Amino acid sequence: MKRKTWAVVGATPRQNKYGYQIYRSLKLNGYTAYPVNPRYKEVDGDPCYESLSKLPVVPEVVDMVVSPTLGEAYVEEAAKLDVEFVWFQPGAESEELVEKARNLGLKVVYNTCIMLETEKRK
């Protein structure tokens, strides 16, 4: 993925969870990544943000690691911020949410995991 600035919605400090693993993988692979989760103050030693609007920059990609029900508000927020891409991790998407994201003008990636994609590029 050529886009280098990411937000990971659903990032968590719990190392056994995908939200943590995806966030850490992006960082280790040279991406600028911001954790977004209102439940935490910090993820992997970095400040965690309660919303996309609170980030210091507008990310190029928002990676969704939350249920479609929780994801809807983040999709709407991403569109308001003019984010280019929304990447739905497996299980974070629904047909309705993918369609909504597209209707809001977002480019959508789904049916693949960013960790697999970054490994393919090594």
**What pLDDT is recorded for position 113?**
83
**What pLDDT is recorded for position 108?**
98
pLDDT greater than 60 at residue 121: no
pLDDT greater than 80 at residue 118: no
* pLDDT confidence tier of residue 43, bands split at 50, 70 and 90: very high
- In the block, tokens 């929304």 appear at 86
* pLDDT confidence tier of residue 116, bands split at 50, 70 and 90: confident
What mean pLDDT is predicted for residues 90-118? 93
Task: Return the CATH superfamily for domain 10-120.
Answer: NAD(P)-binding Rossmann-like Domain (3.40.50.720)
What ranges do the domains of the chain cover? 10-120
Smallest CA-to-CA distance from 35 within 17, 62, 60 is with 62
pLDDT greater than 70 at residue 106: yes
What rounded mean pLDDT belongs to the chain?
A: 94
CA distances from 17 to 21, 41, 46, 81, 96 (A): 6, 17, 17, 27, 25
pLDDT greater than 60 at residue 55: yes
* pLDDT confidence tier of residue 52, bands split at 50, 70 and 90: very high
**What pLDDT is recorded for position 41?**
98
What mean pLDDT is predicted for residues 80-97? 96
